[in-house]
Amino acid sequence: MSIAVLVLLFFVWLLPFFILWRIPRPTGTLVPEEAAAVPSVSIIIPARNEQLTLPTLFGSLKRQLFPVSEILVVDDHSEDGTAAVAAGAGATVVESAPLPEGWLGKPWACWQGARRAGGELLVFLDADTLMEAGGLESILAAYLQRCGLLSIWPFHRMKRPYERLSALFNIIIMASIGSFTIRGRKSRVLGAFGPCLICSRRDYFAAGGHEAVRGAILEDIALGQAFKRAGFAIHNLGGRGAISFRMYPAGIGSLVGGFTKGMASGARTASLAILIPIVCWVAGGFIVSFLLPVALLGSDLQAAAPWLILHVLYILQIHWILSRMGNYGLLTALLYPLPFGFFAAVFFISLLRTFFLHEVSWKGRKIDIER
């Protein structure tokens, strides 16, 4: 293999340092005077068949020192005990009205919750999130420093081996949002993260809220763009130390289904300035992981040395990136060809469903995709 190819692959390896340079996270606290001045807070949780995840979230919210005005759980036509669990935890349960034409389930649930909420600040939380000790205070402090729309991608806490197959998905989600490049606050932000959003009630309705993104599969990206159109700033942070989640604890099938739902749509809306470096970096990882064993099987071990160096560089880099996103551990980085291959398979399925079948499914609902 020529020196030029090796040099090119080295520069490809460098790309994540430009697009995932720094991932800020909420670290502030509220002094007593600031805490007293914080507007009333409503937490809104859209929930469909979440009886197993809600107790963890409610337990973490009860441990927060900052008081909230209300917790609203919008029961999105659940087929399990979601409503009973929420009511038993002291939340106000909002029974979702029938899904209107042109709406998807999550935007409809969030919209109903926002209209029902009485707080001046609205905090939208996914049912599978967990607020770390002092996390709510840190998130509110971060919001008060920035205003506009603040969104946070939770730290991924995994318990079972298959969950680590999400590694490349998490990297791409964080990179594609555009908030963590080497340009810092000058970066062009694509949208927001859906699991944790905070904004003022006034700004939410001025931007059109979830009604403006009623039919969007990636409603978080679309909501961020709606805020941008309305003239509000968007701020995205990583959640380490403040908020975490287990994305798909129900099994590998839920992991595939969850990412299949949005990956192709996300690629269609991503900025080319971010998408192209990501594609090149992933392709470089595939090339290195494929050609290293080929080189090692050859008779010239000296020729295999550059490939071994590149392979080790990928391992160290992936471990550095993932350590800021979840408890993936070094083993995930050592075996990075596995999550890379898993990503490629799921992305192919997503492309097939999005552009050929024009249909995806999630939580028992079929979602039609515009042709």
At 42, which amino acid appears?
A: S
For the chain, which residues make up each domain, given as ranges? 3-19+270-357, 32-250
The Cα 5–Cα 21 span in angstroms is 25
pLDDT digits (tens, 9 = 90+) for 211-236: 999 988 889 999 999 999 999 999 99
The per-residue pLDDT for range 249-281, each reduced to its tens digit, is: 888 887 887 777 666 555 566 677 888 999 999
pLDDT of amino acid 351: 73
- Spans of the chain below 70 pLDDT: 1, 261-270, 299, 353-371
Separation of alpha carbons 71 and 50, rounded Å:
15
How many angstroms separate the CA atoms of 306 and 171, rounded? 25
Distance of CA 338 to the CA centre of its chain: 21
Bridge partners, residue 121, by sequence: 41, 200
pLDDT for res 352: 72
Q: Cβ atoms within 10 A of the Cβ of 107, count?
A: 23
**How many whole angstroms separate alpha carbon 213 and alpha carbon 142?**
25
Residue type at 5?
V
Burial class of residue 371 in the structure, from the number of CB atoms within 10 Å of its CB (0-12 exposed, 13-18 middle, 19+ buried): exposed
For residue 270, the model assigns a pLDDT of: 66
Which residues, at least 6 apart from 41, have a Cβ–Cβ distance to it below 8 Å?
66, 68, 69, 119, 120, 121, 123, 140
Strand, coil or helix: what is 29?
coil
Spatial CB neighbours of 2, under 8 Å, sequence gap ≥ 6: none
Count CB neighbours of 349 within 10 A: 16
Which CATH fold would you assign to the domain 32-250? Spore Coat Polysaccharide Biosynthesis Protein SpsA; Chain A (3.90.550)
- Which residues, in sequence order, are CB contacts of 241 under 8 Å at separation 6+? 25, 26, 27, 132, 135, 138, 155
The Cα–Cα gap between 206 and 161 comes to: 44
Cα dihedral 200/201/204/207 (nearest 10)? -100
pTM, to two decimals: 0.90
Task: State the pLDDT at residue 274.
Answer: 84
Q: Is the CB of residue 87 less than 8 Å from the CB of residue 156?
A: no
- How far apart CA 96 and CA 92 sit, in angstroms, is 12
SS3 label, residue 44: strand
Round the CA-based radius of gyration of the chain to a whole number and report it: 21
